Amino acid sequence: MKTALPLLFLWIFYACNSEKQKIQNDVPILSISESFNQGKSTTPKHYFYGILSEIIEIDLLHREIEMLDEQNGDQSHIDSRIDSCQIRIRRTKKTLKYYSEKKWSHHSEFQSLTRQWLKQMDVVLEKLKPLSNPFSRADSSWTQRDYQLFDFYSTALDSLTVIDHKWVNFQYDYANANSFKLDTGSIIDVTELAKKDLLKSQ
């Protein structure tokens, strides 16, 4: 459906240069993600940026699906991104178990909010699955059932946006409670990153 879909408010703050996203102290976000997923984050700051990197990647794939809808993109491309997104969600849920016993300040609340975010994003993706074919077609070809399925998706996305707001607000509480600051030197617009990724794949 070629309308303005509700966008998540996950505007993430961390340092970057023109070539490669980085977090504070010039640590590449890829290496943070790898060690985080191996359960090797030993500080609340490292753990936070590990979660952040995973959520960015998941949100990025979701934005690409929305853009493919706007372009009447190939159904197989939409399906592959849904699959990739769900695989990443499952991996991140598994990774969180490595950190379930950590005693960092506000840790259990942050873990809970992140699980809620992942769970609701999975619901959004399930609602997207039957829409991959309608998204690949022009609006003029949509049936009443297609519009009904889109309404289900929009409702799930609205619920995700509420959780996303909570997650974004809580990241500051988590950082302050654990004596580190979020780097606000640059704002990473996930939508712009998604546009670039789609161009590369075409």
H helices then E strands: how many in the chain?
7, 4
Local structure of 187: helix, strand or coil: strand
**Range 12-201: architecture per CATH:** Up-down Bundle (1.20)
Distance CA 200, CA 194 (A): 10
Are β-strands 187-188 and 12-13 bridged in parallel, bridged antiparallel, or unpaired? antiparallel
The DSSP-derived string for 60-106 is: HHHHHHHHHHHTT--HHHHHHHHHHHHHHHHHHHHHHGGGTT---TT
Residue spans per domain, the chain = 12-201
* Predicted TM-score (pTM) of this structure: 0.82
Distance CA 50, CA 36 (A): 5
Question: 197 exposed, middle or buried (CB, 10 Å; 0-12, 13-18, 19+)?
Answer: middle
Per-residue pLDDT 10s for the chain (202 aa) are: 554 344 444 444 333 333 334 444 444 555 678 889 999 999 999 999 899 889 988 988 999 999 999 999 999 999 999 999 999 999 999 999 999 999 999 999 999 999 999 999 999 999 999 999 999 999 999 999 999 999 999 999 999 999 999 998 999 999 999 999 886 554 555 566 666 655 556 5
